Structure 1
Amino acid sequence: MQSEGPRVLLVEPFYGGSHKQLIDLLQQNISGCSVFTLPAKKWHWRARTAALHFSQTLPICPSHRVLFSSSVLNLCELVALRPDLAHLKKVLYFHENQLVYPVRKDQERDFQYGYNQVLSCLVSDVVVFNSIFNMDSFLSSISSFMKKIPDHRPKDLDQLIRPKCVVLYYPIQFPDVSRPRVEYKVVSRPEEKLDEAPIGSGEFPSSGNHQEDLHESRTDQRPVSREDPGDQMKPLHIVWPHREHDKNPEQFFSTLMKLKEKEVNFNLSVLGETFSEVPGIFSEARLRLDPHILNWGFLSRGAYLQVLLQADVVVSTARHEFFGVAMLEAVHCGCYPLCPKALVYPEIFPAEYLYSTPEQLFKQLQRLCRRPDIVRRHVVKVDTSSYSWTSLKAHYEALLSAGCP
C-alpha cells in the first residue's frame, strides 16, 4: 500500500541557528514532512522576498494538509500568490517578534518587518510563540505600532489575532551530560582577529558525537588534578554564551572590569561566533581581562559543552530575550544562572536567580567570587526537562496534525 505523500510543508526562509534546529527536529521526528528552505543569509532580504521565491518553488501537492513556517516569511504574500495553499492549516511560529525586537536607534526600525508579521498572523490559522513574553509583548504592541501609520489606521487587530495564539516553548535537545570532575580544562585562545570570525547567531549547532568533539584541535587542553583538595576555592568560572549587540556586552564587561578593579579573582569564558560588526567593547575587554580569560570565541559543540560543565555561573545581560536556549543549556550543564528581572527570564527562572540593576549583578558576582563554594554546592531550581523535546514532542505532533488546534 502506497503512502499518500507528505502531509506537512515545513517552510523556513532563514535556515540557520535555532530556526534550522527546529525544522530539522520536526523533520526527523514527525512523519510526513516535506522541507523547503533558504540559506540563513541577508535576513532582511529573506523577510522581504522569500514569499515570492517559495511561490515558485513549493510543489502543488494534494496530500499537503499543514503549512508550518517561521514569522520571517510573509505568509500573507505567499497565500495570495499561491491560492492552492489557502486551504491548508497554516501555522506561524515566532522565534522573535519585530514589534519590540531591539534596534540601536528607533529610527532604524523598519516598519515593514513588523507589519509583515501582523499580516501573516491575520492569514494564519494558528500563531505559535516560544514564550508568554514573546506573545504578550507582540500583542500588546500592535496598537501603538500601527499608530505609525499617518492616517486610516486599522483597529483591534490584536483582538483578531489573540484567539489564534498559543505558547509552545522551543524544544531543546539537551545533551546527555553529567557533572563529574574532569581531567582537562578546555582553553580556547584563537589568534584570528575578531572581525575575521564567521558571522553567527551565538547558537551552537550539534555536531552529532559530543564525546568525540570534546577535544577538538582548536583548543589547548591543560591537565587539572582530579584529586585537588583545593577545588572548592578555585576561582569562580563565569561564562557568557552570547555575542549579539542586544545581549548588552557593554554591561557584562563593565561589571567584570569593576570586579577586576576590586581585585576580585575569577575566570572567564566568552563563547559564541562573532558577527561582521563587532562592538568595540569586545577587543577592549579581551585586552583588559586577559589574565582571567580561559576561553574566547567559537568552540566545537563538544568543547562548548565541556566548558559549560566546568563553569560555575552563567550570566545574561540581555536587553532582549524571547526564550534563551543558551542560558537553559548552561543550567542543564550545572551552571548557576544570573539573569535580568525582565524579558522572558521571570517566566523561566525563580526570583533568586534574577537581578534588577547592574549594581545588583555586580554585588552578586562579587559575593560568589569570594565564596565560589556556594554555587558549587547549589542545585539550580529550574526543571530543564520541561523545555526538552521529549516533553514537548506530543504538543508539536498535535500542532502539525491536520485537525483543529
Structure 2
Amino acid sequence: MDLVFLEPYDGGSHRAFREGWVDRSRHRFRCLTQPARFWKWRMRGSAAVFADELNRRNNRDNPADPTPDLIFATGFLNVADLRGLLRPPLDRVPIVLYLHENQLTYPLSPEEEFDFHFGFTNIISALAAQRVVFNSEYQRRLFLDAIPAFLGKMPEGVPRQVPARLEAKSEVLGVGLERRPLPAEYYPRYRGGPCAADAGPTWPRAERPLIVWNHRWEFDKRPEWFIAAVETLLDEGHDFAVALLGESRNQEGVFHPLAKRLGARCVACGFLPSRAQYDALLERADIVVSCAAQEYFGISVAEAVHAGCYPVLPRDQVYPSLYGARCKGRHLYDTPRELTALLRDLITGGTCGHVCSLDRDVDEFCWERLAPRFDALVDRVVSGGPQG
C-alpha cells in the first residue's frame, strides 16, 4: 500500500521510530517531516504545512505520487486541522495517530505553565483519527483517565463520552529497537551478582561494574537523582565506572562536575558519534539506570536491557507494566535513597543476583519483529476490518 508518514518533530526517538519502521515495512512510504524544534509551533502549524504539500502533490497527474491509502501521523500534529484542510480525495483517506507522548500528562519544566490548548489538541486529534495507537498501555490509561477532569474545566458544551469513544478505537504498539533479535536458542542469564563459573557470564562483565546513564540530560529525566546516588557511592569508596550518554540538549553543565570527579572511571561523556559505538558500550555495561519523571515507553532502557544490562528503574513510571510482571528480581525503586541502596547492592555483589529474562522479554520490540505488526495495523485500518 501507499502510505504518507507525517512527522512534525523529526528528531531523537521520533525520527528513529519513523526510520526504523519505514526501512522494514512491506508498504511504500512518502515521508513529510519538519525539524525537531519549536514543538509548540509544530502543534499549531504543521497541519497547514503538510496539508498544503499533500494538496499540491495530489493536483499532479503523477503515477509515482498516487493518492495514499493511509496517512500515519504522530502526536505533534493536529489531525482535525489536517483533515479540514485536505481537499478531495485526500480528505477521505484514513488517518492513524501514534502518540509517543501526550500533553495532558507530560510534566512541565520549571519555567512552564500548563497550556490547555495542547492537551485539547491531543484529544481533538484522537477524535478525528480512525485509529489511535499508544506506545504503552501505561500511557493509554494515563491519557484516557486524565480526560474527564481536563474536559470538566470547560464551562459548557462539553463533548460526551470522549474516553469511551477513544478507548474503543485505540490499541497499543511499542517502539521498535535498532537491535538484532536474539537467536531462538538464547536462554536467560544470571545477572545482578556473582554466580557459579559454569552457570553463565561473570558479574560484572569487566574488572569493575559499569553503570550507564543513556537519556537526555533534561529536567524530566531527573539527572540530579543519578548524580546524588553516584556521589554517595563515591563518598563511600566503592569502585565502579560510569558512562554518561545521551543528548545534552543545551544542558552540558549537568554532568560535567560528576565526570570530572570520576576522572578515568568516566568511560564516556555525551552523545556517542556512531550507533556501533553505542551498542558496543551497552554490551560491555552491567547496569542501566533511569530516574525519569516521565516515561511512556523508555526506548533507551529497552535497548540497554536487550544488550544485557541490569535495569534500575523508578516504580512510578511505565517500567512496572513492561518489566515488573516478567521478572521477580530487584529492579524498581521509589525514592532517591532506595535508588542508592539498590545500586550499592549491585556494585558490591549483594542480594540482587538472579536469573533475569528481561533481555529475552524485550526482544519482541526489535524492529524485525515489530514492523510486521505495524504493517498489519495498516492493513486492518485500510480494509475496515476488525481492530486491535
| Superposed pair shares fold, TM > 0.5 | yes
Give CA-to-partner distance per residue, 1:230-275, whole Å, 9 cap, x none: 9777221100101232111011111111111111221110101211
Give CA-to-partner distance per residue, 1:97-152, whole Å, 9 cap, x none: 11111112495222211111100011111000010011111111111222344554
Shift of 1:380: 4.1
Q: Which has the higher mean CA deviation after the structures are superposed, 353-362 or 260-269?
A: 353-362
Unaligned ranges ≥5, structure 2: 59-64, 187-201
Residue type of the alignment partner of 1:368 = L
Residue type of the alignment partner of 2:238 = V
Paired with 2:341 and 2:351, the residues of 1 have a C-alpha distance of: 16
Are residues 1:294 and 2:267 paired? yes
Partner of 1:67: 71
TM-score scaled by length of structure 2: 0.82
Are residues 1:312 and 2:316 paired? no
Q: Which has the higher mean CA deviation after the structures are superposed, 69-78 or 389-398?
A: 389-398
Aligned-partner SS, 2:167? helix
Partner of 2:315: 341
The correspondence for 2:232, drawn from 258, 265, 278, is: 258
Partner of 1:271: 245
Residue type of the alignment partner of 1:296 = C
Paired with 1:152 and 1:360, the residues of 2 have a C-alpha distance of: 47
Shift of 1:349: 1.2
Partner of 1:381: 358
The correspondence for 1:131, drawn from 126, 129, 136, is: 136
The 3 A distance-change label for structure 1 pair 106 and 380 is farther
Paired with 1:332 and 1:232, the residues of 2 have a C-alpha distance of: 15
Shift of 1:16: 1.7
Paired with 2:275 and 2:205, the residues of 1 have a C-alpha distance of: 27
Aligned-partner SS, 2:8? strand
Give CA-to-partner distance per residue, 1:211-238, whole Å, 9 cap, x none: xxxxxxxxxxxxxxxxxx9977722110
Q: Which runs of 4+ in 1 moved over 3 A?
A: 147-155, 175-179, 229-233, 287-292, 372-375, 377-382
Aligned-partner SS, 1:41? coil
2:181/2:363 contact within 8 Å kept: no
2:306/2:358 contact within 8 Å kept: no
The 3 A distance-change label for structure 1 pair 80 and 360 is same
1:309/1:335 contact within 8 Å kept: yes
The 3 A distance-change label for structure 1 pair 291 and 87 is same
Are residues 1:236 and 2:209 paired? yes
Residue type of the alignment partner of 1:122 = L
Partner of 1:45: 41
Partner of 2:17: 22
Paired with 1:81 and 1:255, the residues of 2 have a C-alpha distance of: 51
Paired with 2:350 and 2:158, the residues of 1 have a C-alpha distance of: 56
2:21/2:367 contact within 8 Å kept: no
Shift of 1:276: 2.1
Computed over aligned residues only, the root mean square deviation of the Cα atoms, in angstroms, reads 2.6
Shift of 1:355: 1.6
The 3 A distance-change label for structure 1 pair 310 and 232 is closer
Partner of 1:162: 167
Are residues 1:363 and 2:341 paired? yes
The 3 A distance-change label for structure 1 pair 248 and 403 is same
Residue type of the alignment partner of 1:38 = Q
The correspondence for 2:82, drawn from 46, 57, 78, is: 78
Shift of 1:321: 0.4
Shift of 1:32: 2.7
Matched residue count: 349
Aligned-partner SS, 1:321? coil
Shift of 1:373: 11
Paired with 1:74 and 1:114, the residues of 2 have a C-alpha distance of: 11
The 3 A distance-change label for structure 1 pair 25 and 231 is closer
Paired with 1:105 and 1:150, the residues of 2 have a C-alpha distance of: 28
Residue type of the alignment partner of 1:14 = Y
Q: Which has the higher mean CA deviation after the structures are superposed, 152-161 or 341-350?
A: 152-161
TM-score scaled by length of structure 1: 0.79
Are residues 1:403 and 2:383 paired? yes
Q: Which has the higher mean CA deviation after the structures are superposed, 42-51 or 128-137?
A: 42-51
Give CA-to-partner distance per residue, 1:326-371, whole Å, 9 cap, x none: 1111111111111111221011113522122222221111111112
2:292/2:314 contact within 8 Å kept: yes
Q: Give the percent of matched residue pairs that are identical in Structure 1 and Structure 2.
A: 33
Paired with 1:291 and 1:83, the residues of 2 have a C-alpha distance of: 60
Unaligned ranges ≥5, structure 1: 1-5, 180-228
Partner of 1:11: 6
Aligned-partner SS, 1:100? coil
1:65/1:89 contact within 8 Å kept: yes
